[in-house]
């Protein structure tokens, strides 16, 4: 029985998110978002709609027929936090941040800062970008967990006792990218792909 559904990078694509989640509502699964909820939205107020929806899911999962909702911090959440706290918005805006969303996000800074960098369920490690190979989980650098690509993506193994479920790097052909030691679920919502909701058994 599938009891976890991992959600890839959303990037403000509210309609695609709603469509991806539709089959999983009222099934008593736990949703795990791997980060990058915001930035590069195509529809007006996409970031706000995603924020409002995801926070509602997390605050009252039982109203949606879910057992729980976990939201991880991605590099776009991290850039947003730094933009709010320093008023230096250049990097965040360059990476697709919507200046009209900044004041709204500022009201939810505590929530943004509370988002964990990873979570473990049975044999799966959920994280935004990946892990640095040959480094124990407790010694992984936050920057790597949110930003890493190489050598994680092309390495044969990361030598952690988990299958790493991650986003951050759009997958080839915008399909879920499955390897023995990792599963990539950023299926390119902001590049013409879609939002992935991947059922997993734990």
DSSP string spanning 142-158? HHHHHH--TTTTT-S--
- The 10s digit of each residue's pLDDT in 95-121 is 999 999 999 999 999 999 999 999 999
Q: At what angle do helices 46-59 and 14-21 cross, to 10 degrees?
A: 30
Model pLDDT, residue 31: 98
Q: Is residue 1 pLDDT above 70, yes or no?
A: no
pTM of the predicted protein model: 0.97
CA–CA distance, 163 with 7 (Å, rounded to integer): 16
Q: Is residue 127 pLDDT above 80, yes or no?
A: yes
For residue 164, list its beta bridge partners. 125, 182
Domains, the chain, in order of start with CATH, read 4-200 (3.60.21.10)
Model pLDDT, residue 49: 98
Model pLDDT, residue 167: 98
Q: How confident is the model at residue 2 (pLDDT cuts 50, 70, 90)?
A: low
């Amino acid at each position: 029985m599938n009891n976890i559904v991992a959600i890839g990078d959303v990037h403000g694509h509210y309609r695609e998110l709603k469509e991806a989640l539709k089959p999983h509502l009222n099934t008593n699964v736990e949703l795990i978002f791997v980060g990058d909820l915001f930035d590069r939205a195509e529809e007006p107020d996409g970031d706000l709609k995603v924020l409002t929806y995801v926070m509602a899911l997390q605050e009252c999962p039982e109203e949606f027929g879910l057992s729980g909702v976990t939201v991880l911090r991605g590099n776009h959440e991290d850039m947003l936090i730094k933009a709010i706290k320093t008023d230096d918005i250049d990097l965040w805006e360059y990476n697709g941040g919507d200046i009209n969303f900044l004041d709204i996000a500022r009201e939810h800074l505590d929530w943004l800062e509370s988002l964990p960098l990873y979570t473990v369920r049975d044999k799966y490690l959920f994280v935004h970008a990946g892990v640095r190979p040959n480094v124990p989980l407790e010694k992984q650098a936050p920057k790597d967990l949110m930003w890493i690509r190489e050598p994680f993506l092309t390495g044969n193994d990361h030598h952690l006792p988990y299958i790493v479920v991650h986003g951050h790097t759009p997958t080839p052909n915008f399909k879920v990218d499955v390897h023995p030691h990792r599963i990539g679920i950023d299926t390119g919502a902001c590049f013409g792909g879609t939002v992935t909701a991947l059922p997993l058994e734990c």
